[in-house]
Structure 1
Amino acid sequence: MDIKELGYKFSLSPLILRLTLVACLLLFTCTPAGGQYRVIGSNQPIEAAPGDDVVLPCCVDPPQDVVGLTVEWSKPDLRPDPRDRLSRVHYVHLYRDAREVPDMKIPSYMMRTALFAEGLRQGNISLKITNVTLEDGGRYRCFIPKLKSQMQSSIVHLVVKPAPTKAGTTETPLFTRNLQTPDPEEEKNNSGDFPRRSRLMLPLLFLLIVVGVAAGYLQMQRSKKTKEPIAVPTV
């Protein structure tokens, strides 16, 4: 290797160094930072019946103390009141300055919502709603506006269905997979000539009658034999 070739290689080294630095910077900016906070809600609908108490799950991941942050629960599908131009957000529950702010709350949710005070230190911002009504169904948005993250909010869907029980009861099972419905064929048999059980019992009854007649006949034959005089042999 002569001096010219060596000088040419060393002259390219600053350019290669710059390109490598730019590539590293692009790779760093395109890769999401590990441990970035995000708000996560339930990806499955929450089901409840009128009168139930329900919890809408929502939390910060990884866990972070949010006691000093603002937490907003709202219903994004509600239309703003045209008479109140300043009312753009319908707050189901508003937590600010380490306390609830009821002044900007939807009236129908008064005294029915609460956060878990101890859970806020671990990033748990789940909302509890008591005495659920049919009007409570819909989408709910949990939002932390000052969270240092690009995912500051999440959507939780609440489904409220009438309870399939007797009137006056308030608690119903959330899962109805074990509830049995009558078989249409069985209902047809019950309303027709004979149910299935009756048709199955007819052969059994006939068999019992045959066995009874046979047993009676054998018993009669035995009784006849016992009544006949025994012949005494003559000497």
Structure 2
Amino acid sequence: VKMNPFSLMTCIITILLFLVCYLVCVAEQSELICSHQPIVALAGDDVILPCYLDPPISASSETVVWTRPRLDPKYIHVHQDGRLMFETQNPSYYLRTRLFVDELQNGNVSMKIFRVKISDAGKYFCTLRSMQKKASIQLTVGKSDFLKMMNYTFLLDLLYLKSVLR
């Protein structure tokens, strides 16, 4: 059976159009979700700001942009064409952020911040430009002195209990 090249091309174009329409529909139905609860960390800790597409679709080819509105420049992390765009990044976050690049294909656009500072506290926005998706998350950063004080108090209590029990 010989097939007409024109009808074969028509069939291929129809299938491709169907796939494009399907992918667009799935992308429109997918929501960008960040944690609704504030993320709490202590100064000096590493922290993950969780954010993902639900239902999960690949964000590998997306430009993923993390920003903080009251900073200049506001860009915390811009992942485009498979790499971090250092040129636009706020200098205070230089070498302190990363995405989980292997997880982008699963819709995970979470950002990790290394060595969190008190000044990192605030509202962060994650944006997927071509999908026109945006979500926000709050980061709260506490001083580690409080934890040290709590540990010190706990240690004193233990020593007291130990002396009482003897």
TM-score by length of 2: 0.70
Q: Indicate whether 1:162 and 2:146 are aligned.
A: no
Which residue in 2 is equivalent to 1:209? none
Q: Indicate whether 1:100 and 2:51 are aligned.
A: no
Counterpart CA distance in 2 for 1:38 and 1:144 is: 11
TM alignment of 1:107-186, pairs within 5 A = 107-147=91-131, 152-163=133-144, 164-166=146-148
* Structure 1 runs not aligned, ≥5 long: 1-32, 81-86, 174-178, 183-235
After superposition, the C-alpha distances for 1:103-141 in whole angstroms (9 at most, x for unaligned) are: 000000000000001110100000000000000000000
Aligned match for 1:73, one of 66, 70, 78:
66
After superposition, the C-alpha distances for 1:77-105 in whole angstroms (9 at most, x for unaligned) are: x155xxxxxx6xx1100001111101000
Letter in 2 for 1:158: L
After superposition, the C-alpha distances for 1:41-95 in whole angstroms (9 at most, x for unaligned) are: 000000001000000000011111111110000002x155xxxxxx6xx110000
Which residue in 1 is equivalent to 2:42? 49
Letter in 2 for 1:160: V
Q: Which runs of 4+ in 1 moved over 2 A?
A: none
Identity over aligned pairs, percent: 36
Distance 1:79 1:53, change over 3 A: closer
After superposition, the C-alpha distances for 1:27-48 in whole angstroms (9 at most, x for unaligned) are: xxxxxx8870111100000000
Counterpart CA distance in 1 for 2:62 and 2:48 is: 21
Counterpart CA distance in 2 for 1:79 and 1:110 is: 14
Counterpart CA distance in 1 for 2:59 and 2:98 is: 15
Compute the displacement of 1:165 (Å).
3.1
TM alignment of 1:5-44, pairs within 5 A = 36-44=29-37
After superposition, the C-alpha distances for 1:170-201 in whole angstroms (9 at most, x for unaligned) are: xx99xxxxx8xx9xxxxxxxxxxxxxxxxxxx
Counterpart CA distance in 2 for 1:55 and 1:155 is: 14
Counterpart CA distance in 1 for 2:121 and 2:67 is: 12
Structure number with greater Rg is 1
* Structure 2 runs not aligned, ≥5 long: 1-24, 158-166
TM-score by length of 1: 0.50
Counterpart CA distance in 2 for 1:47 and 1:159 is: 5
- Equivalent residue pairs, number: 128
Counterpart CA distance in 1 for 2:147 and 2:76 is: 29
